[in-house]
Structure 1
Amino acid sequence: MDRLDGQSDVSFADKTDAPIYAGLVEEQGDVPAEVRRVAEETLREVDRALDFSSVRSPAALR
């Protein structure tokens, strides 16, 4: 699976590569991938909430 930034999702494991990890993912879900998704979503929300592009610096007012 590809992420929004174009990098591969390294948390996905083939059962033959990491059977213990794959078993945990089946039982608990892919926690690292979910944390990454929530963190990326939070960063996007913060970028929108703290958009200072319309604020001019005092030097620009002179």
Structure 2
Amino acid sequence: MPELAEQLVRAAVWADRQAGASWAQIGAGLGISAEAARGRFGRVRSVAAPAARVG
């Protein structure tokens, strides 16, 4: 279950970044600093976006 929660948070961070959210906004939502958010999720681009269903 913790792994699923982490995947969901990463997907939400990825979506927020794609929508233009700053690290400060993301950090505030998570209760951490912008620097901590960037350090923890800064490589979120390397995590594949949720795949769209085909067909």
Q: TM-score, normalised by structure 2?
A: 0.36
Structure whose residues are more often helix by fraction: 2
Q: TM-score, normalised by structure 1?
A: 0.32
Report which structure shows greater RCO (CA 8 Å, sep ≥6): 2
User: Which of the two has higher C-alpha Rg?
Assistant: 1
